[in-house]
Amino acid sequence: MSMFEASAHLYCDDNDIRFYSGLASPPEKTGIMIAKDGVEGWLSTPPVKLSLTERAWGNGAHDVSNPDITYAARTVTIHLDAVGMTRSTIIGLASRLNSMMGKIVKFRVIDDGQDTYVEGYLHSEYGSNWSRQLLEGTLTLVCPRPERLSWDAQSVQLMAPSVSAGGLSYGPDGKGLAYPLDYGAASVDQSQALLRNRGTARAYPVLTASGDWPDGVLLVWDGGESLEWRGRVWPGVPLVLDCRSRTASMGGVDVSRGLTRRGFPRIEPGGDIMLRCLSAGGGWVDAQTRDTYI
């Protein structure tokens, strides 16, 4: 990656450290520059986790299928120059970077229209030179999740299907038919939304059901697959369905035992899915996904 094509940011808690490229100098000549060696391991794929078994007879190895091809954690190496007018300023810049050690950080690169990020933990190394205005160094970022994700998420909201009333009711005291007749709540609409993935790897949405869902949440998507969680979702305590980890949680507590159908939505690279909500209730489902790159 050329230092002239990208700018970058490192985020941790409320801290935002910008890495300046060759086209943008830091204000007052004080800041962190992307060095001439740039950023390694960003556009490249991580190592493949696949061992081939050679054929005992004939040429080559045994065939593999697409699900067998998986990738190891991503390692990103950021070559940097800390520049400043005084030695104390340079030491302060290095200390600011080191304050992010031991924490999960986000590293974002804006590269000619593509804006993506990764998450991981850092290791820093600095040169031994004693220049008063320059300190060379490298940051190594280890990302357990190998994919790069688009910085801007696609978010849609599925409302609970509308409810109609009418039918038989014997009234609160059970003394006979009460009018208007009431058969109970029934779903008459199927709220739906389209989710896209413009990346090069499979994307996994995060679904958050909020509001009042007396009988849980049922979602269906392309191909007739369905995801259902049975139980009560109360206002103020949303149900989070993580399609990558295939888990359900409420208030930080795992409630995956309530999953009765486990067809978690996934979006193939360059593809899209139509997501539909079939549950009756007084709530809504927020669906969020990001373009995903390997």
Can you give the pLDDT at residue 21?
Answer: 81
Can you give the pLDDT at residue 24?
Answer: 67
- Considering the domain architecture, whether residues 169 and 109 belong to the same structural domain is answered as no
Domain count of the chain? 2
Distance, CA of 276 to CA of 160 (rounded, Å): 10
Domain that holds residue 13: 6-146
Predicted confidence pLDDT, tens digits, the chain (294 residues): 444 456 899 999 999 999 988 666 777 788 999 998 989 999 999 999 988 889 988 898 988 888 888 899 999 999 999 998 889 999 999 999 999 999 999 999 998 889 999 999 999 999 888 778 889 999 999 999 999 999 999 999 998 876 434 444 444 444 444 445 444 444 444 588 999 999 999 999 999 999 999 999 999 998 789 999 999 999 999 999 999 999 999 999 999 999 999 999 999 999 999 999 998 888 899 999 999 999
- Considering the domain architecture, whether residues 35 and 52 belong to the same structural domain is answered as yes
- Considering the domain architecture, whether residues 64 and 93 belong to the same structural domain is answered as yes
Can you give the pLDDT at residue 22?
Answer: 66
Q: If you count them, how many residues does the chain have? A: 294
pLDDT digits (tens, 9 = 90+) for 193-245: 999 999 999 999 999 999 999 999 999 998 789 999 999 999 999 999 999 99
- Considering the domain architecture, whether residues 175 and 131 belong to the same structural domain is answered as no
Instruction: Show which of 146, 176, 209 is a domain's final residue.
Output: 146
CATH number at residue 268: 2.60.120.860
- 269 and 205 Cβ atoms separated by less than 8 Å: no
Cα pseudo-dihedral 151, 121, 18, 136, rounded to 10: -140
Look at residue 220 and tell me if it is in a domain.
Answer: yes
Instruction: Show which of 146, 165, 190 is a domain's final residue.
Output: 146
Residue 36 in tokens:
């001439």
Look at residue 247 and tell me if it is in a domain.
Answer: yes
Look at residue 77 and tell me if it is in a domain.
Answer: yes
- Considering the domain architecture, whether residues 257 and 236 belong to the same structural domain is answered as yes
Instruction: Show which of 146, 170, 190 is a domain's final residue.
Output: 146
Distance, CA of 269 to CA of 246 (rounded, Å): 19
Can you give the pLDDT at residue 190?
Answer: 52
